[in-house]
Amino acid sequence: MQGKTGSESWQEVWDKSVNGPRALIDCWQEIPCDPCQEACAQGSIVLSSGICAPPALHAETCNGCGKCVAICPGMAIFLVDRSIGSGLARVTVPYEMRDEIRLGGEAWAVDGEGNYLAEGRITRVSGAGRPGRTMLLTIEVPEEWALKVRGVRGRRKLLEEPEEVEAIEAVEDFAFCRCEEIDYSRLREIITQGEFRSLPALRRFSRAGLGYCQGRFCQSILRSQFLADCPEEDREVESFRVRAPVRPVKLSRLGGEDG
């Protein structure tokens, strides 16, 4: 039988998880990634057509070993286990954060947006104390959250909302080039006056991009401002020249007097 991708497989995971843990995969974009398929000894994860296909799960054959959970670079695979009954489910999530979470302790189960779902007991911790390994945490939550849990958190304080403030008026002027400190207003003036119709000419005149960093930082900004302010029909193409050295170098070395 063909496996299912994304949330289509979740119903099956829900059904089969009464027998023990099953993998719940929350990865449905076409991205170039396949370690989950490689990791699964059961052959339960299959990418149908090449490395960009989203992973499809065979919930029947998955034995809940968790290998795919620990290796997934997107941290997008979880285990759902409803075999304990009494309206509870155990959800296993990959974990690489700092909050100290201990076996037997309580933690928060959160959804994909970080919203609190439930407080639950941590029933299993694997890979702890081994930096470089991804920890797997298992948390016990009411069954209705089983498919929603995406993370486990210590009781870290929640972020406060940013404050809304009065809109500020005119944009203050600012240095556009970090080295030569050319003002933004000055630069736009130069461009819109239309005297300089190519980037190299603009750079030579304004000196923006000719400072100590040699434009390695401001070049892309200069370019987008030029494209925004200089009408297309006025632009001239001028070849772009680069001179050595491409990194600042001590004058004493170039002078060679001390070798």
Partner 1 sequence: MSLPCEQLDLLVIGAGPAGLCAAYEAAAVGCRVTIVDENDKAGGQLSKQIHRFFGSSHHGAGKRGIEIAEELFGDCLKLGVDVRLSSSVLGLFSNGEVMIDAPTQLCLVNPGAVIVATGASEKSLAFPGWTLPGVMGAGAAQTLINIHRILPGSRVLMVGSGNVGLIVSYQLLQAGAEVVGVVDTAGSISGYQVHAGRVRREGIPVYLGHRLLSARGSTGLEEVLVEAIEDGTVKRFEADVLCLAVGMSPLCDLAAMRDCRMVYEDALGGLVPWHGADMRTSQSPVYIAGDASGVEEASVAMEEGRIAGISAAEDLGSLNSGEAAERRAAIAKRLDELRAGPHSRGKLAAKERLYAR
Partner 2 sequence: MAFNNFRILQHPVLGEKKNGKEVRIFLDGLPIHAVEGEPIAAALYAAGVRITRLSPHKKEPRGAFCMIGRCTECCMIVDGEPNVRTCRTMVRDGMRVETPRGWME
At residue 5, the 3 state secondary structure works out as strand
Instruction: Give the alpha-carbon dihedral of 16, 22, 26, 28, to 10 degrees.
Output: -70
36 dihedral zone (left: phi>0; alpha: psi -120 to 50; beta): alpha
Of 56, 72, 101, 146, which one interacts with ligand SF4 (CB under 6 A)?
A: 72
80, interface contact from partner 2, partner 1, ligand SF4, none, CB < 5-8 Å by kind: none
Residue 32 binds partner 1, judged by CB under 8 A: yes
Q: To 5 degrees, how large is the angle CA 42–CA 48–CA 53?
A: 110
The residue assigned the tokens 């009408």 is: 231
Of 122, 179, 210, 221, which one interacts with partner 2 (CB under 8 A)?
A: 179
Residue 129 binds partner 1, judged by CB under 8 A: no
42, interface contact from partner 1, partner 2, ligand SF4, none, CB < 5-8 Å by kind: ligand SF4
Residue 181 binds partner 2, judged by CB under 8 A: yes
Q: How far from the centroid of its chain's Cα atoms is residue 217's Cα?
A: 24
Q: Choose the stretch contacting partner 1; rule: CB under 8 A; options: 56-64, 119-127, 161-169, 190-198.
A: 161-169
Q: Which residues bind ligand SF4 (CB under 6 A)?
A: 23, 25, 27, 33-36, 39-40, 42, 44-45, 55, 62-68, 72-74, 76-77
